[in-house]
Amino acid sequence: MKAQTGPRPTSSQRHRTLTTSCTAVLILSLVAACGGDDGGGDSQDGGGNPADAEATDEPLQVWVRQAEDGGLPTYQEMADLYEEETGQAIELYGEVTGFEESLIRAASAGNLPDAIIYDTEGLGQLVDWGMVQEIDPDVLENRDEILDLAWTAAQGVDGSYYAVPTSTQAFNLYIRSDWRDNLGLDDPQTWDDVVEIARAFTHDDPDENGEDDTTGYVVPGSSQRGYASWFWITLLWQAGGDYFEPQDDGTFVPTLDTPEAREAMQWLHDMVFDHQVVQPGTANHVTADSHPYFQSGESGLYHTGPYMIAGFDDEPGQDVYDVIEPVTGPAGNDTLAEGEQLYVMTGTDKADQALAFAEWVASPEGQEAGMNPGGYSVVRLPINENVSAGEVYDHPYWDVVAETFAESGRYVTPVPNFGPFRQIVADTVNIVISDPDADIDLLMDDLNEQVAAELDAQGVLAE
């Protein structure tokens, strides 16, 4: 089937939060209205089983958060390959900018797709809206081939599974190796090392052009769509903190007023104002604004994701940068992990077929098709233990990313809806890196109160 596509994305829309003016009650009522189909559509029973899947006359409707100028053609190739092998046609729809709103409209019309492939972070909101079915991982023949860490992102706050992992990634430190070698430095191992190297990259003419035209450390610090908190959360974890602490009863205690959280915020503030090693304008930069600083030779250290490897190979060039493990902070070297997974939607009568497709996407064949070497990858780091990213991409840096995911990767703590927290924290991070006189203690106390209020609004604040 030919893929359909929605509006083209902008570069700043990659990390879109599931937000809408509709209330959760309204959404749940809309979903309930379209949940009356027979056969595998009850979100309470998780009844899908790929072993029972038979090709249907009607195509399996799958929505993906990709566009025609992005990953949608890769998904179409995967769908075509799957149809050749199984006889099951797949009708794809792809959109980026309005994906969440399209889901709401589909729910109101009683016309949700059979499945979607969507961000790991969106699981809590989808479950809260009642849009997705609980699934039983044990019905998948390749359940044990899927990495255990990837499965953790498919679990809701209740411990149940609501998705099948399809792709993941971990964030590493990217360094201008030629600058490092020019200055006789070693790769950084700790936060202190990062400060030392960033200062040298800023002040010691690492590119040897005789000009004062470099900075040491790239920070995408805009509050737009939560970019600043997306970057800062790795520092928070490395300091030993988190947004909140889960309790045994499914509630959470906000923990952004702790010494660990304050230390992580102070460190970033110092990088901007005391050490003055961050690119100018950082508080206004989303990732699309930040990438060029590393690519153009203006900055030499950047903690980012493997989706930039191909771009960095072109500019500044594979021979002048390295991908290294995340450095160790006061408490460890945890780093952000995120990915995509397939969700079976409420109301579908094709739950068996949706899980069969998920099983195939998670197989070595499906993973390699999604990695699409030389093209647009919709599977970045494979979630199947039998697939080697380094071998498929024929690139040693992907082996580093895989090792990082296995040893240090960490998904965000699951709550009913993580999106508001990401934005709340981003607003505070942005203030801190915008104001040299920011009162971090006061800001963190206020931030913790905001997080507590949001936990209460979501019904999960610990008493």
Report pLDDT for 40.
Answer: 36
Residue 107 CA from chain centroid, whole number = 25
In what order do the strands lie in the sheet containing 299-304?
A: 215-218, 299-304, 172-176, 321-324
- What's the pLDDT at 3? 56
Alpha carbon distance 343, 120 (integer Å) = 10
pLDDT below 50 — which residues of the chain? 2, 5-23, 35-45
Q: Which CATH architecture has domain 4-169+338-410?
A: 3-Layer(aba) Sandwich (3.40)
pLDDT for 47 equals: 63
The predicted pLDDT at position 39 comes to 36
State phi, psi for 457 to the nearest 5 degrees: -65, -30
Distances (CA, A) of 30 to 108, 113, 446: 5, 14, 36
363 Cα distance to chain centroid: 21
CATH topology identical between 4-169+338-410 and 172-336+415-457: yes
pLDDT tens digits, one per residue of 229-267: 999 999 999 999 999 999 999 999 999 999 999 999 999
Q: Where are the domains of the chain?
A: 4-169+338-410, 172-336+415-457
What digits encode the pLDDT tens for the residues 362-371?
Answer: 999 999 999 9
Helix axes 227-238, 259-273, angle to 10 degrees: 120
What is the reported pLDDT for 30? 57
- List all residues 6 or more positions away from 63 whose beta carbon is below 8 Å from its beta carbon: 92, 93, 94, 95, 99, 102, 103, 113, 115, 116, 117
Per the CB < 8 A criterion, the answer to whether 184 and 268 are in contact is no
pLDDT at site 97: 83
What pLDDT, on the 0 to 100 scale, is given for residue 48? 85
**pLDDT value of residue 28:** 59
The tokens 């008493």 sit on which residue? 463
CATH architecture entry for 172-336+415-457: 3-Layer(aba) Sandwich (3.40)
pLDDT of residue 41: 36
Identify the pLDDT of residue 205: 98
